[in-house]
Structures are given as C-alpha cells and as structure tokens.
C-alpha cells in the first residue's frame, strides 16, 4: 500500500468516526422533520430588468440545517444518480460540521466544476431523485443547493485569505494530451488528467474559454465570474488554455501529433442549430437560440458600449420546451419583450426543461402556449416576420422516448402576432473535426462513435459530450470527460512502461 492509499484509508476511518458522532447527535426522526430549505431569490419584477443571478445562494445557517437533514444512508443511492460519482453524503456531512474546505475538497475529487454543477445540473432527475426522502414522500435533500454553497464559500474564503487552489498530488509524468473544446466535457477531462499528472492543453475555437457555459447559459443562471473561477482552479492545476484555435482548421490532428501530444480528446460539442423546415424560417427576425444566446451572452449584445447587434422584439415566440428555450425566453424578457411566449407541441408535463426554470419563467411573465406547433411564419412588407401560424395539437400514444406523441387537431390553426422568433428545437454535432480526420467513424447523426472507454475508431482519439451524445446536460458531458480520462490514462501509462 502506498502513502496516498494509507492517507485515504486514514481519512475514511476519521470520516466514519465523526459521521457516527453526527448521526448520534440528532435522531433520524428529528432530521426528517426538518423542512427542505427554500432558496432565496431576487423578486421577479426586479430581475427581468437586469442580468443578476436569480438564485441568491444559501446562508451558512440554511446550509447547515439542510445538511443536517441528510441521513447518511449506508447505501447512498444519490451517488449512483450522479454521473460523475460525487461522494454526496461525504461533502454534505462536512458542511454539517462546518468544514467547508473539506466539503469542497470532497467535491473536487470527482468534479472539476462544482460551482457550475450546483447551479445548472438537473439534480431533481439525478442525485435528488435517488434520495431516500422520496420513499418517505418527503422532499429530497437539496443536494444541488449544498454543492453550490460549498463551492462558493470555499472560493470566497480562499480569496479572502489568499489561499491558493489545491495542486495535483500526483507528480508530473511529462505525457502531453490535447483537448478540443473547453465546454464541460473538455474541462472535466482536463481536470482529471491534470490530477493524474498529465500535461494538458485545451484548445477553444472561440475568443472566450468555457464553451456552452459561456455562450449558451445566461448570467442570470450561471454568472461568468463563477465559470472564470472554476477555470482559474484548472489553471492552478497546470492546465493550459488556447483561445481562437479551431482544431481541424487552425490546427490539424496531425499537427497535434507532431507537436508531441500522445492523445486527443474531442469535446467540440453540438453547435449546429436545427430548424423545422417550415415556410418563413428564412425571414428577418427568425433565428436559432444558439445565435441569439451567443450574441447576448458571449458577445455582449444589448450591453452599453457593445457593437454586437441583436434584435429586440416586442412580441417574442420561442419554439421548444427545453432548458435552452427557457434561457432564450427569459433573456427576451430581459431584452425588453412585452410579450414572451413558449410555443411547445406537447403539454407542460412532457417538457424536458427543469421544473425550476419553468417556474422562474412563469414568475417573470412568460406565457406558455402548449400543444401548439408552428407551421408557417408570415412576413410584413419589409420581409420581416410579423405573425406565425400554429397548429393546435392533442396528445396521442407514447413515442419511442416514452412521451406521448402530439397529434394535429384537424382544422385547428391559429395566427399569433410576433416580431421575433427564436427556434430552440435541438442541435446537431459540429462536423468540422469528424470531417477533417480520415478513418474516424461517425454515426448517421454525425456523432463520433466511441466504445465504453470513450475511445474512437482511431486509438489516439477519444471523444465525449455532445459530439458523442448529440445534445445532453452539462453533468452528462462531464461524466463522459471523466470516463475518457480514465481510458486515456490507462492507455498512455501502459504504453509508457
């Protein structure tokens, strides 16, 4: 047993002792009687006037009380529900005992972006859905809120004390790996590889590091300062970032090999928007959510002094029911829309967006026109969209995903006044890297095909995130990054022997 293993064993022993003490301090019956914490948030009438973060975070008292609710189950299923396998009871019990830096350290063992995940992950469908409280017909422990609290508090305390970020404990092995894309999959992979002692370079095509975390998610949900702090932690671990570098164009795969990189992790995302193929989609005023959010989030459109143009509709329709649709319609309200609508072909119960995002949108005055499907956009005399025709729908039998399929109601077509339409019906993988590498196997959907270790048909190329999944959550992309890091490390270390 090496020293690290011995230290880890000692940590487990100490953890078990104080966790037993915490369990004994308050009986389970008293813990389960504590109501779930309510996240403080900005009032809706104020927040639609600015880009400030809606959820304001827990106080220390709220966090400790919520952490006390955790029953520290012998077989914690919440961990099984986490795509990156965070020791959830471990970090929560550290919050309960006031050891915030320890809680953050537990999080960072498996997550490169805890402050991000605490804000944008769909915990209600993952870790919190496995919480034992659900079996008691009670609200689950607020795992996401506590993750955010631990990450934020640790970051603030470190800044106040001037304490540097933790360095990798593993010595450098001198082996170089490259990452194409600085979104959640790429960052997760980079963090895990740096912790293992690899030399990591991340190449980003845009002028800002962070991928979809920067261009796709508004600051009222994920502030850029939070993303930047997570990036600084990775820099402190030795990860190097390169902006304005398009792998497959600025640098080829062969260029990377010639520069000494032994493996490449492709995390270039799914940046190509889909449209519906209906009349009028080329009209002025109809755009994808990708373009709309990128102009505002990444390029500062609408901010004082910005040169980036963006349309500001008074009657805005957003087509779709996912988180990106919610981000778009809530952004439209902040950009001055008098009427902002979600147009969704199924019912609200089938919406893939997080319940919290739907709730916040309603608070902010967004209208939900469900069981409606656009069939045509109409133009004014200047060629700008002025109205849309929608087909009324009803739910039929479940489709392949288990959701009930929408069926048109014959003759039920309405016309709605709009002057801006934002289409958010999905994305397709970026084809640049797959098209630039001979022998790389790609599916019919344009995704890179990989095995269980995230290895592609080319032994030195691994891939994960949306370029493999075709569109997924931040945390699923991060899980891919972790899995790929394990596969790359095993391959390169075995070859180095």
**pLDDT band (50, 70, 90) for residue 5:** very low
- Is-above-0.75 flag for pTM? yes
Q: Report residue 211 as tokens.
A: 């991928």
Contact 453, 446 (CB under 8 A): no
The whole-number pLDDT of residue 20 equals: 62
Distance CA 248, CA 227 (A): 26
pLDDT digits (tens, 9 = 90+) for 358-397: 999 999 999 999 999 999 999 999 999 999 999 999 999 8
- C-alpha span between 357 and 361 (Å, rounded): 6
pLDDT above 80: residue 186: yes
Residue 429's nearest CA partner among 446, 449, 441 is 446
Burial 47-75 (b: 16+ CB within 10 A, else e): bbeebebbbebbeeebbbbbbbbbbbeee
| 402-441 confidence digits (pLDDT tens) | 878 899 999 999 999 999 999 999 999 988 999 999 999 9
Looking at residue 430, what is its pLDDT? 84
Give the pLDDT confidence of 34-58 residue by residue, as tens digits: 999 999 999 999 999 999 999 999 9
Phi and psi at 392, nearest 5°, equal: -70, 140
**Buried b or exposed e, range 265-277, using 16+ CB within 10 angstroms:** bbbbbbbebbeee
């Amino acid at each position: 047993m090496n020293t690290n293993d011995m230290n880890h064993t000692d940590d487990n022993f100490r953890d078990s002792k104080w966790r037993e003490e915490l369990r004994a301090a308050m009986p389970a019956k008293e813990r389960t009687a504590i109501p779930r914490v309510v996240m403080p948030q900005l009032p809706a009438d104020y927040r639609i006037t600015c880009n400030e973060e809606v959820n304001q975070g827990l106080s220390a008292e709220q966090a400790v009380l919520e952490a006390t609710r955790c029953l520290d189950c012998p077989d914690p299923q919440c961990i099984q529900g986490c795509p990156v396998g965070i020791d959830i009871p471990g970090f929560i019990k550290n919050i309960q005992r006031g050891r915030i830096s320890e809680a953050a350290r537990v999080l960072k063992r498996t997550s490169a972006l805890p402050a991000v995940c605490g804000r944008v992950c769909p915990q209600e469908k993952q870790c919190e859905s496995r919480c034992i409280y659900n079996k008691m017909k009670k609200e689950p422990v607020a795992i996401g809120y506590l993750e955010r609290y631990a990450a934020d508090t640790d970051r603030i305390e470190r800044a106040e004390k001037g304490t540097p970020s933790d360095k990798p404990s593993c010595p450098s092995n001198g082996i170089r790996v490259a990452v194409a894309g600085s979104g959640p999959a790429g960052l997760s992979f980079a963090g895990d590889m740096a912790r293992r002692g690899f030399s990591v370079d991340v190449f980003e095509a845009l002028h800002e590091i962070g991928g979809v975390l920067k261009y796709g998610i508004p600051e009222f949900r994920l502030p850029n300062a939070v993303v930047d702090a997570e990036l600084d932690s990775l820099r402190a671990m030795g990860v190097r970032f390169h902006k304005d570098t398009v792998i497959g164009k600025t640098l080829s795969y062969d260029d990377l090999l010639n520069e000494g990189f032994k493996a490449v992790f492709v995390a270039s995302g799914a940046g190509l928007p889909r449209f519906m193929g209906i009349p009028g989609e080329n009209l002025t005023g109809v755009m994808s959510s990708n373009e709309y959010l990128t102009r505002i989030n990444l390029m500062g459109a609408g901010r004082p002094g910005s040169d980036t143009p963006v349309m500001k509709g008074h009657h805005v329709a957003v087509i779709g029911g996912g988180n990106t649709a919610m981000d778009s319609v809530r952004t439209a309200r902040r950009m001055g829309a008098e009427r902002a609508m979600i147009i969704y072909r199924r019912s609200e119960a089938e919406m893939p967006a997080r319940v919290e995002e739907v709730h916040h949108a309603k608070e902010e005055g967004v209208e939900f026109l469900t069981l409606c499907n656009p069939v045509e956009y109409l133009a004014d005399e200047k060629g700008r969209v002025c109205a849309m025709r929608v087909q009324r729908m009803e739910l039929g039998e479940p489709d392949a995903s288990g959701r009930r399929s929408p069926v048109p109601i014959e003759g039920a077509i309405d016309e709605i006044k709009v002057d801006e339409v934002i289409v958010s019906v999905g994305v397709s993988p970026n084809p640049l890297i797959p098209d630039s590498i001979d022998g790389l196997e790609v599916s019919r959907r344009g995704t890179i095909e990989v095995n269980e270790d995230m290895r592609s048909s080319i032994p030195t190329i691994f891939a994960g995130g949306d370029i493999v999944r075709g569109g997924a959550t931040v945390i699923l992309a991060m899980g891919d990054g972790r899995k790929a890091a394990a596969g790359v490390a095993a391959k390169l270390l075995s070859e180095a022997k």
